[in-house]
Structure 1
C-alpha cells in the first residue's frame, strides 16, 4: 500500500502547520512565565476542550469565565460583626503581612507601622498609645511598607529589632511576636522573637525551641490563626455557584516538594471531575522567566488574572468547594490558614495532607490521589455537602473567631481587651411541655448539657440567659443543634436565628439569609440575650418574631419527634440484642444481594466516621454491594451515637449495633462481634478514622471471584504521618513466598512455616478482603481491651492461610498521627493495654509451636523499636509505672537472656528506679 504525499504542502496544510508552530511557541512562553495563560488560551482552537476548562463553559479563557461570575459576586452581601462577639477595645500596633492585617481589621483598632513612620504611635498621649505591639513574619506587608523585611540583614529588619521594639518596650508597651511562619523558616525570624516579651507560635512543635532560644520571653505559647466574620462569612452564599472550585497561591515548584506532589494529585482530580477550576497566582504569570513559580503546563488553562483579596474572598464564598494547600505536613496545630478561612465562608475544603487538619477537621477532604478527589466530587450528595459545610462553620466560629483570639492575645500580654465575653455562654431551653425525651436531647448537646425548663419558669431566668432555645416535644434535636445557633450568633448581627425545614434541595433557597420573622417556626429559633419581657410566655415570644429580622442557618440537626434523632437519645443501659441484629443482617444481605461486609469499630469518633471512613466507602463503586456493620463499642459521645444511627437509617445496606455505654478499651470487642455477624461471602476491616482508596476493595473482590482457591486477597497501604509512605504488601509477600513480577498471576501457596519465614512481621488487615467461609471457622478472637490486636490477627491469618492473592493496588489509607487516638495517647495505661495482647500471643505461639521462632526472629526488635521507642515519649513522672508494664510483658517470654543491649539497659534503669523509690 502506498500513500501519495504532495511534494509541497497545500496552502491549508501550511497554514495549519504555522498555527501549530505558533501555538507550541506560545505554550512554551506560558510555561516559562513570559506570556499570560489567558492571552494564549483566547485563541486556542487546535484541540477539543477538557470538560473542566473554561472553554467547555462558554468562555474563551479563565478571565472570561471570571467575568461571567460577576453577577454572583455582586449579589453577595457584606460580612457582619457577630452579635455575640463585639469588637475589642484593643489598640494594636502592627507589623505583619497583609493576610494577618485583614484578619484583625474591624476586631481591634490597628495602628499600622512602617519603617519610617512609627514614632508617632509613641508620641501620642499615654492614654492614646497602643496597648501592645504585635510583630509577625512579613515579606511585604500592607502597601508593601515592609518589603524586604524577610531578610535578616536588611535595613527594614534592623529597624524592627534595633529601633521599634526597643522603643515600645522602653515606654512599657508589651511586645508580642506571633510566629505565623513555616517551621522551616524559624531561623529567619528567631532574632525578632528574641526581642519580644511574649512569643506565640502556630506550631506546637516549636514551643520548646522558642523557649530555649528566647530567654527574655515571659510567655511562649501556641496561638492558631483566626477567622474574621467581616471577611469570611457564609451570609448570602446559598445557593452558591455550585461547580466552581478556586485556588489562590503560589505554586512553589521547588520550595515545597511534598506540597507540590500532593497538590498535583488534588488539582488533577478536580480537572477529572469536570468541575470549573480557577487558579490565581500572579507570580506564575509574571512577565519575567522564573520556573520556580510556574505552574506545570497541564494547569495553565485554568490560570486567571490576579484579583484583589476582597474579590478572591467573594469567589471563595460563592463556591461550594475550594482548595487549600499545606506547606507543613507534620504539625498538629500549624496548617494552611486558608483551610480555616474557607470553612468560615461556608465552603467545603479540598486540601493536601496535614496532621492537624486530619485530627481536628475530619470534614476537610484530604487528597489521596487524583482518582480519589474526582470520586469525592462526583459522588458527594448535596445533603452530605451541607453537613460538611455546617461542620466547618461550627469549627471556625466556635474555635477560631478573631475576637476570641484577640482576647487570648490580651490575656497573654496582660492588657485589658476592653470588651466582655461570656466565659461559658449561658444557654437555656424552654418548652410548653417538658418531656424526658426532650430533656435527654438537650442534655446531649455538644456544647455541654442545656437546661430545659417550662415556660412558667422562664421569667425567673430573665437577664441570666445568653442564648434562649424555644423547643417542642413535637420535634427532635440533634447534638449539634445548639452549637449551630451559637456559631451563627458569632458571624452575623441578627439577634434571632432559625433552622429551616425540609431537605437541602428546598431549604437552600432560604439558607444563610434574612427572613421575615413570621416565616420562622418558633421551636426552631434561638434568641440572643432576649429582653426579660420576651420570657413572659410562649405566646409573647411567638408574637415578637415579626418584630425581628431572623437569620436562617440551614436545615440540619432537627427532625420529627419519632425520628432517628429522638431514638438516638433514648437511654441505653444494655447491649443491643445480638440475635435480633444477626437475623436482620442476614435478611438484608440476602434481600439486597450484598457480597462484602465491612466491619467498622466505632468509639467516640463520630465525625471521623462520617467524613473519613464511611465517606470513603460511599465513594466506592462497590458500595451498593457492601454490608457496612457499624459496631459502636459503647460510645459516650452523643455525636458519635447519633452519627451511627443516622448512617444506618439513611442507607439500607448499613446496620448499627450498640454496646452499652462505657467502652471495652479497644477495637477487639466490636471486631469480634463483626465477624460473628458477617453474612456475606467476603469480609474486610476499616477503622473510622482511616479511608479505603483507589477502588482497592472492588479490585480485591474481583480477584477472589476469579480465584476461589484463595483464602484472602491483599493489597497495599498508604500510611500518612510526616509524609505519605506506601507499604507494598504485594511486593513484600511475593518476594518472600516465591511470586515475581513476571509471574503476577500466580496464587501464592504458603508453606507450613510461613509465619516464621515471614519473620512474624505485621500485615495491615485493613488492606485485605477475606473469604468468610475460611475466616469464621478459625474463630480467631482478638484479646479484649488490648492494643495491637489487628497486627496480631494478621500474624494468625498468615499462619493459617494456605493460598493468597496479592494485587498491586492501594486499598487502605492509614492516618497514623490522629491526635487523641488510642495508639497515639502515650501513658502508662497505653502499655498496660498491651499486656492482654502479649498474654494471648504467648499462649497462641506456644500452642502452635512457634514461640522459640518468635523469640529468635521478632521479639527483641519489636521490644526495642516499639515498646522502648514509645517509652521514650512518656513523662519522667510516669516512666516507672510504664516501664513496669513493659517488664511484665518481657517476663511473659521467660525474661531473657536478651541479646539487644537496649533491653538490658532498660532493665537496669528500671531496677535503679525501683531501688531509689
Structure 2
C-alpha cells in the first residue's frame, strides 16, 4: 500500500484555522462574481500545511496554477494497483446466444453487449458478402459524455448506405440508445427506418411515438452492465479507504445541484476522508460549459480520468464513490457510472435524483456537509455496516442488471428467441427439517426459480444450481441471491459462502475445502465446462448473526421511541429510515418500533424480522398479510408499544437529517414540554424546505432556548397549517392522554394528527433546522397516482376531521381559513388535470362527497372533465 500513502499526505497535515487566512484573500473571495467558488474549502483545503488558493479556470496560466496544487499523479498510482486485479473470472450465468448479430455502435454499447452473442462489426461500407452471415443489425448510439456523437455525414451513410443493404436481405434493424433525453434527433434519424427502438427512457414510447412511424416498435430497457468487465472480483487485494468523485459535473446553470455536490465534498473533507476527483476535462483546462462546474477549493484532489482498459478495475479499489447526478428531476437518467460503481462492490454517495432514490435506496443521499460527516463517521466506525452497504449494491445490480438480459430482450423483440428461461435452483434440505427455518426465510429474485427437496429425493433434471443447506444456522433472506450471483461473477463449478471470511479473501478463486461446518456450498450441475477448476468465494454475510437478538438489551437506556410503519418497502426501511437513524448521536438511546401493516412482499417481512433479531434496540410487530390501506393502523399500534418518555415517527422511505432528533430530545429533556418541533426537507423534482418553525414563531413567543407557551387560538392563527409529525419529538405520557386515533385507511392522516396535537399542547419548543427528509416522488406512492383510490383514501380522513372540528367548535374557521383554499389548490387540480377520462365520474362523486362534509358545493363542466367550487364561480 506504499502508493496510497502518498495519496494520503494531505490527510496527515494540521488543519488551518480561519484566523490564519490572509484578510486580503478573504476580501478577494467575497468580491468574486463567481460566488460558487467562495466556501469554507479555503479554510479546510490543505496540501502540505498550506491553504489551497482559488484557481480561476479563465486565467491563461490556469493549468500551471492547477499543477501547483493538484495531485495529478494520483491516477498513475491507482492504475498501478488496479493492473494487479483480474479483469474477470468469466461467468457461468452470462448467457450467450448463438445468434449472429451485426453491430455498428459506439464503444459503450458495444462493450456492454460483448460476450452475449456472436457479433460481427459492420460499417456503412461493409461488402454485401459480409452481411450474409448475420441475423439482424444492432445500432448502438454513442453515449453522451463517453464518446463523440456521430456526425451528420456518418448518420447519412448508415441510413442511406447500410440500411438499404440490410433491408434487401430481409433482416431486422434494432436501434439502442442510452442517452435520452439528449441526442434525440440523431436517434430519430436512424430509428425511423428501424424495426425496434430500445431506450432507457420509460417514457420513450410517448416521446418518440409522434415522430416515428407506427410500425416502429418502441420499448424500454433498464440500464445494465457487462459482468465480464464490471464486477467486484479481486477487490479485496488493494482496498483504498477513501472516496472517488466521478460522473458529470453540474452545468453552469445548475446552482442547486452544484451546491449539493459541494456539500458532499465539504463533509468528506471535514472528516479527513481521502478524496480523489477523477475529472479529466477539468484537469485539461476545458471550458466550464463543456466540463461543468468544479468547486475550485478542491483543486488539490483533482486527477485525470483512468485509462479505458483499467477503468473498471480502478472502480474496485475505492470504498466509496461520489457521483454528481446529472438530472435531479428525472425518474431514470441517472449516470451509468452509478450502476457500474455498485456492481464493482463500492458504496455510493450521490446528489439527489428521483430515479436514483427510487431504484437504489441504498445509495447515500446526505443533505449537505453535516449529514455527510455523520454518514462518513458511521461507515468508518463500523466496517460491517460499510460492507453490508456495498453488498446491497452488488446484490441489486447483479440480480437484475447484467447485459445478457438486454441481448435476450433484443432477440425476443425481433422474433429470434422465445421467452426468457429461469435459473433453476434446488435447496438440498435435511431429512430432519433442521434447515426449514433458513429455507422459509429466503426471498428469490426475478428470473430465479427455487425449490426445496430433501437429501433422500431425486434432483429435478432441469436443475442448474444445488445449494447444500445449512444445519441449524440462522441465515439472511438473501443467501440464495448471493449464491446465484457468485456464478454470475465467475465461471466455476462451486461457489462458497463462509461465515466471517475476511474481506481480503472474498470475490476470489479459492482452493478452500467445502467440508467446513461454517460454509454453505452452491454447486453447478447445469452442464458445460467451467473456465476455472477452483471454487469462487462469495462474501458470507448472509450467514452472519450480528447482534444479540435481545430486544430488551437497551430498554433501560432508551429515552426516545421511533415508530416506523412498514408496508412492502423493506429496502427503503433498511437503507433510508434505519440508515439515517444509525447516524444519529441519539441512536444508543433509541427504541425503534417497526410495525408491519401486513406486507404482501416477503422480502419486506423478512427484513423486518431480521432487523428485530439483529438489532438489540428494535422491537417488531407484524400484522397478517393484507394491509389496512394506510400508515394509520401501524402508527396507532406503535404508540401502544411505546415505553419510553419521548416518541416520534419516521416513515420507512424517509430519512432523519443530521442530528435533528438528538437536538429535539435534548430540548425535551431540559424543560417540561409537550413536544419539540423542527422543519422538514422535501425532495421531489427539487429540494425545498418546509419552515414549520417560521410559521409557529408567528404566533408563539419563545425564549432564547426556543421554548414558548401555545396560545389557545394558535391553530386558528396559523390557518390550521398541518406539519410533519416526523419533524417532532413528543412527550409520550401527554400524547397518549389525548387519546388520538389516526383514521384507518386514510391518506394524509398525519395532518389531522398534528392539528389535534397542537390544539392540545400547552408548551412546546421550536428548533430552526430540518429534522427529516420527505421524498415526494417515491415510485408507487398513492400520493403520486391520481385514481379513484386517491379520493377514496381522503374520505375517512375528512370524515374524522370534520367531526372533530365540529366537536371543538372549529368547523367554520377551518372551512374559511383552510378547506376552501385546500380544495382549490389540491383536490381540484388533481381532478381537472391528472384523472383519466374513464375515472372522472367516480372521482367526481368521491370529491363531491368530501366537499359536502364541509358544505362546499361543486359544479362540473358540460363535458364532465373539470370541476370548480360554486363559491369561486359565483364571485
TM above 0.5: yes
Cross-structure match for 2:41: none
Asked if structure 1 preserves the Cα contact closer than 8 Å seen for 2:53 and 2:297, the reply is no
Secondary structure of the 2:266 match is helix
Asked if structure 2 preserves the Cα contact closer than 8 Å seen for 1:500 and 1:511, the reply is no
Q: Does 1:676 align with 2:674?
A: no
Greater Cα shift, 900-909 or 820-829? 900-909
Partner of residue 508 from structure 2, selected from 510, 513, 517: 513
Q: Deviations over 1:245-297 (max 9, x none)?
A: 22234434415444323222222222223222111222112256657535221
Greater Cα shift, 184-193 or 852-861? 184-193
Asked if structure 1 preserves the Cα contact closer than 8 Å seen for 2:347 and 2:389, the reply is yes
Partner of residue 134 from structure 1, selected from 121, 136, 139: 139
What RMSD over aligned residues (CA atoms) do the two structures have, in Å?
Answer: 3.5
Q: Deviations over 1:766-799 (max 9, x none)?
A: 1112222321210111112222111121121122
Asked if structure 2 preserves the Cα contact closer than 8 Å seen for 1:475 and 1:559, the reply is no
Q: Deviations over 1:554-595 (max 9, x none)?
A: 1122368xx999x9xxxxxxxxxxxxx9xx87x954x22x22
Partner of residue 556 from structure 1, selected from 541, 558, 561: 541
Partner of residue 124 from structure 1, selected from 119, 125, 129: 129
Q: Does 1:451 align with 2:451?
A: yes
Name the one with the larger helix percent. 1
Q: Does 1:631 align with 2:630?
A: no
Return closer, same or farther for 1:529/1:867 CA change in 2, 3 Å cut-off: farther
Cross-structure match for 1:325: 324
Return closer, same or farther for 1:124/1:907 CA change in 2, 3 Å cut-off: closer
Shift of 1:303: 0.8
Shift of 1:207: 2.7
Q: Deviations over 1:851-902 (max 9, x none)?
A: 22222232233334333444443444444344433333334334x335x878
Shift of 1:906: 6.5
Cross-structure match for 1:58: none
Partner of residue 528 from structure 1, selected from 524, 531, 546: 524
Asked if structure 2 preserves the Cα contact closer than 8 Å seen for 1:199 and 1:217, the reply is no
Cross-structure match for 1:382: 383
Asked if structure 2 preserves the Cα contact closer than 8 Å seen for 1:80 and 1:229, the reply is no
Shift of 1:831: 2.7
Secondary structure of the 1:476 match is coil
Cross-structure match for 1:149: 150
Asked if structure 2 preserves the Cα contact closer than 8 Å seen for 1:683 and 1:772, the reply is yes
Asked if structure 1 preserves the Cα contact closer than 8 Å seen for 2:75 and 2:306, the reply is no
Asked if structure 1 preserves the Cα contact closer than 8 Å seen for 2:444 and 2:450, the reply is no
Secondary structure of the 2:228 match is coil
Shift of 1:509: 3.2
Cross-structure match for 1:183: 181
Cross-structure match for 2:767: 807
Cross-structure match for 1:574: none
Cross-structure match for 1:344: 343
Q: Does 1:756 align with 2:716?
A: yes
CA distance in structure 1 between the aligned counterparts of 2:606 and 2:788, rounded to whole angstroms: 32
Q: Deviations over 1:116-149 (max 9, x none)?
A: x5221x522553246123142556987xxxx463
CA distance in structure 2 between the aligned counterparts of 1:358 and 1:365, rounded to whole angstroms: 9
Which segments of 5 or more consecutive residues in structure 1 lack a partner in the other structure? 1-19, 45-60, 533-543, 568-580, 911-917
Partner of residue 825 from structure 2, selected from 843, 856, 865: 865
Shift of 1:301: 0.7
Q: Does 1:665 align with 2:629?
A: yes
Q: Deviations over 1:5-29 (max 9, x none)?
A: xxxxxxxxxxxxxxx9xx9999546
CA distance in structure 1 between the aligned counterparts of 2:837 and 2:436, rounded to whole angstroms: 47
Cross-structure match for 2:849: 888
Q: Does 1:254 align with 2:252?
A: yes
Q: Deviations over 1:149-182 (max 9, x none)?
A: 37xxx43344444544455445433333333224
Cross-structure match for 2:312: 313
Partner of residue 86 from structure 2, selected from 53, 77, 82: 77
**What is the 5 A alignment of 1:281-292?**
281-287=279-285, 290=288
Which segments of 5 or more consecutive residues in structure 2 lack a partner in the other structure? 1-46, 870-875
Return closer, same or farther for 1:276/1:440 CA change in 2, 3 Å cut-off: closer
Asked if structure 2 preserves the Cα contact closer than 8 Å seen for 1:199 and 1:210, the reply is no
Shift of 1:482: 1.0
CA distance in structure 2 between the aligned counterparts of 1:511 and 1:189, rounded to whole angstroms: 42
Secondary structure of the 2:681 match is strand
Compute the TM-score of the two structures, normalised by the length of structure 2: 0.85
Q: Deviations over 1:15-44 (max 9, x none)?
A: xxxxx9xx9999546675854489634xx6
Asked if structure 2 preserves the Cα contact closer than 8 Å seen for 1:202 and 1:222, the reply is yes
Partner of residue 793 from structure 1, selected from 753, 767, 774: 753
Return closer, same or farther for 1:908/1:225 CA change in 2, 3 Å cut-off: closer
**What is the 5 A alignment of 1:805-884?**
805-871=765-831, 872-884=833-845
Asked if structure 1 preserves the Cα contact closer than 8 Å seen for 2:786 and 2:830, the reply is yes
Return closer, same or farther for 1:777/1:94 CA change in 2, 3 Å cut-off: same
Asked if structure 1 preserves the Cα contact closer than 8 Å seen for 2:334 and 2:356, the reply is yes
**What is the 5 A alignment of 1:145-544?**
147=148, 149=150, 154-169=152-167, 171-183=169-181, 186=184, 189-238=187-236, 240-254=238-252, 256-287=254-285, 290=288, 293=291, 295-380=294-379, 381-412=382-413, 414-416=414-416, 423-435=421-433, 438=436, 441-442=439-440, 444-447=442-445, 450-459=450-459, 461=460, 463-502=461-500, 506-516=501-511, 518-519=513-514, 521=516, 524-530=520-526
CA distance in structure 1 between the aligned counterparts of 2:142 and 2:365, rounded to whole angstroms: 28
Compute the TM-score of the two structures, normalised by the length of structure 1: 0.81
CA distance in structure 1 between the aligned counterparts of 2:342 and 2:82, rounded to whole angstroms: 18
CA distance in structure 1 between the aligned counterparts of 2:342 and 2:290, rounded to whole angstroms: 30
CA distance in structure 2 between the aligned counterparts of 1:481 and 1:334, rounded to whole angstroms: 31
Shift of 1:221: 1.7
For these two proteins, the number of residue pairs brought into alignment is 813
